[in-house]
Amino acid sequence: MNIDLPKVINAYFKADKKGSPQALADLFTPDAVVVDEGNTYTGRDAIRQWMMNASTKYTYTVEPFAQAEEGGRTIITSHLVGNFPGSPVDLRYFFVLKSGMIAELEIVL
């Protein structure tokens, strides 16, 4: 299913697919916060490191298939398949956007 993602969220998934931590980090505000697997990463440097670790630790593909809005957040549900425990899985990505950039991202089951 093709969905019409907001521009910066579409760019996020493209950067993730290419395994480009710097391109991905550049989509976030300087003080952005990412919460993933119980860990919190604050700022572009921490977000870049988070992506570098994820892309070296696992091989995966992610395919967004649903979009919703709730409480000022854009929720993208994606199918994730890879060499990680529990694969495949559907994850929800809770994005908060600010001035065309990602200010917050929380990834949950």
Sequential DSSP letters for 48-99: HHHHHHHHHH--EEEEEEEEEEETTEEEEEEEEEESSTT-SEEEEEEEEEET
The whole-number pLDDT of residue 30 equals 98
Helix (H, G, I), strand (E, B) or coil at 7: helix
What are the Cα distances from residue 57, in Å, to 29, 60, 83?
Answer: 25, 10, 9
* Cα 53 from Cα 29, distance rounded (Å): 20
Each residue's pLDDT tens digit, 69-106: 999 999 999 999 999 888 999 999 999 999 999 999 99
The one-letter amino acid code at 39 reads N
Architecture of domain 7-108: Roll (3.10)
pTM of the model: 0.93
Q: What is the pLDDT of residue 71?
A: 95
Where are the chain's structural domains?
A: 7-108
